[in-house]
Structure 1
């Protein structure tokens, strides 16, 4: 942010105001251990109190402020004040409802947070480095039809990871599996993960502990076409960074079809024509600059990276909110917050084929 070319020290000239609060580092101290809710919420409450008392806040009641949370949204959305419940309630505080919150995974059912890409292993310092990497991924020989890197979730009833791993193991001629387990966990070493993805045509991206995975962006970086099992994993998340037409760069296989053994992954992927695969891979490779964060000591000249697109998204959003304030309107009243995913993705809340994916069964957890 300090390298951004359009900074000003005069808030009256600013379109948006960045709040440099490290909320992810704050809550990470308390996620694993016996800390009561007062301890977990203290810094967040202190922050919004301080912001509320600043003259900049009164201009738009914080609607021009934005913050980077640095972790998934659920770490900041504790629904009940119970010491045994996860996270803090930063995003539920009244002041936070006005701010734009940037997270690596947003909530489909709330209107004030927006997802930005997970960081990958590649931080180029020039346009030429980006082009060289893209060309390398175009030339890459991909011997496996699909692959999966991850671990099962035996304690999660809705997880389809075990089924995916079984299907991969049963398709040994077509699938490569990198299981993340034991002390020799190769998934923690970039060279193993990237080698797997670079040698595969498709990369399976099922949900894990939450909807999204860092692995999605590793696969794009590797020129590997992501296969999702829920639109909550990417399509309603990274609205500023990924194409609206998800079929141009990815495949969606409904997770219920996998769970109920209605879908055979190798069969579905094998039936995709070669020219379609080539077109999808090229789209994935073109996405690489948009989902990486370049070296902050330099700037890309012809590409917009994830940071650039994020700031543009924030400025556009704040510009819209400012116009609404002047006109005495409030678009957030135009839709039920429960349908935020639909409104932000499609601009309306009409009945949609994805409705079944976003019916909440556990509002305390999600």
Structure 2
């Protein structure tokens, strides 16, 4: 991971972009370096205080994802849990913790929540979020658990880390003007060992059979074009819609790469976006995305292309414009820039955390109930 934590967590600067990307603000960012980016942004925050009694919320700069990532294979569970247990032991001894029992504390886990919720008898990840102390804290993670109020989903890092609002505006103009000869596109790989007939297999096959779909398939002896940021962005810029079936988990970094390119995401499970990122994405998912029930695609009763062709030009233009307007709030600004002049994903997350802690201190539930979210429960029950 050493090269990936360079440049304040943004990774190596992109210099060969094939004229696809601007010369500045773009990095080969690893999807698991959010903790480093977030910490370096926090160092620049204008409202820091060393007096925890005055703090609206207490940030714990523990690199939970980098820690667990070192021990995913070939280590005992005692090793996987050691640093997390040391952390909560130390936190419990501090005056800041004693004030509210840690309920005003939060940390950032740059992986999905499941990597920190190893059940008894399991051999993947740590037990961090199952520790009693951690249950009092809030965890900002790349994908939250649908039934865990202590997890909050925040966007995956993309390749774009603008320093100024002008950089964002310039990129928005670029993707607005982009020619999109393809109706839809997919970037990704099949999942080895899962066998045929998975949703992702079906989506890939539907794309491959259509002359209106652009397929950038990875792995299995193919060139690693899908790991070159300029190739990924070029591909997404050429399509109106971008297919986002679940991968190893419900969410995908690809969804944010696609939106960054002005491509309207197509989701097949609500856990990919609609039950996540509540601070960062519009509550009305129809404004910026298309939902196609994955079971209908998998059993062959629905083709994604047929659904997408039903949208009129005005509907498509409105969704794409909404996606482009969302770009500032889903990217993470360059942590080394003192003031970018726009609210990025970090700003949205910190404001959301402060509001969440304020509710907790007032004896209210951490978040307002949203009855609309309950309509998705059946999708998780059957998954």
**Common fold, TM-score beyond 0.5?**
yes
The alpha carbon displacement at 1:355 in A equals 2.3
Match of 1:208 in 2: 247
Match of 2:51 in 1: 10
1: CA distance, partners of 2:222 / 2:133: 44
Q: Given the superposition, is the C-alpha separation of residues 219 and 357 from structure 1 closer, same or farther in structure 2, using an over 3 Å criterion?
A: same
The alpha carbon displacement at 1:348 in A equals 3.9
Q: Given the superposition, is the C-alpha separation of residues 207 and 24 from structure 1 closer, same or farther in structure 2, using an over 3 Å criterion?
A: same
Q: Given the superposition, is the C-alpha separation of residues 220 and 345 from structure 1 closer, same or farther in structure 2, using an over 3 Å criterion?
A: farther
1:57 aligns with 2:80: no
Match of 2:223 in 1: 184
Match of 1:226 in 2: 265
The alpha carbon displacement at 1:345 in A equals 8.2
Match of 1:331 in 2: 365
SS for the counterpart of 1:20 is: coil
1:119 aligns with 2:160: no
| C-alpha contact 1:77 1:92 (8 A) present in aligned 2 | yes
| C-alpha contact 1:37 1:81 (8 A) present in aligned 2 | no
The alpha carbon displacement at 1:192 in A equals 0.8
Q: Deviations over 1:74-118 (max 9, x none)?
A: 110001144xx2111000000000101010111112111101111
The alpha carbon displacement at 1:302 in A equals 4.5
1: CA distance, partners of 2:375 / 2:96: 43
**Structure 1, 289-298 or 153-162: larger mean CA deviation:** 153-162
How many residues matched? 340
SS for the counterpart of 1:70 is: strand
1: CA distance, partners of 2:375 / 2:50: 47
SS for the counterpart of 1:219 is: helix
1: CA distance, partners of 2:378 / 2:49: 45
1: CA distance, partners of 2:95 / 2:368: 34
1:22 aligns with 2:33: no
SS for the counterpart of 2:125 is: coil
1:249 aligns with 2:280: no
| C-alpha contact 2:164 2:341 (8 A) present in aligned 1 | no
SS for the counterpart of 2:147 is: coil
1: CA distance, partners of 2:255 / 2:375: 23
SS for the counterpart of 2:265 is: strand
Structural mapping, 1:28-107, within 5 Å: 28-33=69-74, 35-82=75-122, 85-107=123-145
2: CA distance, partners of 1:56 / 1:76: 24
Match of 1:145 in 2: 183
Match of 2:347 in 1: 308
| C-alpha contact 1:203 1:219 (8 A) present in aligned 2 | yes
The alpha carbon displacement at 1:301 in A equals 5.2
1: CA distance, partners of 2:309 / 2:338: 41
2: CA distance, partners of 1:230 / 1:159: 13
1: CA distance, partners of 2:51 / 2:198: 50
The alpha carbon displacement at 1:299 in A equals 4.8
The alpha carbon displacement at 1:209 in A equals 0.3
1:354 aligns with 2:371: no
Q: Given the superposition, is the C-alpha separation of residues 183 and 167 from structure 1 closer, same or farther in structure 2, using an over 3 Å criterion?
A: closer
1: CA distance, partners of 2:287 / 2:114: 30
The alpha carbon displacement at 1:183 in A equals 5.7
Q: Deviations over 1:228-252 (max 9, x none)?
A: 0001001111000000000000000
Structure 2: unaligned runs, 5 residues or longer: 1-41
Structure 1: unaligned runs, 5 residues or longer: 325-329, 333-343, 362-366
Q: Deviations over 1:267-321 (max 9, x none)?
A: 1101101100000000000000000001112255542100000000100000000
The alignment's TM-score, normalised by the length of structure 2, stands at 0.86
| C-alpha contact 2:279 2:349 (8 A) present in aligned 1 | yes
The alpha carbon displacement at 1:323 in A equals 0.6
| C-alpha contact 2:218 2:226 (8 A) present in aligned 1 | yes
2: CA distance, partners of 1:224 / 1:125: 23
Match of 1:339 in 2: none
Q: Given the superposition, is the C-alpha separation of residues 253 and 360 from structure 1 closer, same or farther in structure 2, using an over 3 Å criterion?
A: closer
The alpha carbon displacement at 1:13 in A equals 0.9
1: CA distance, partners of 2:365 / 2:271: 23
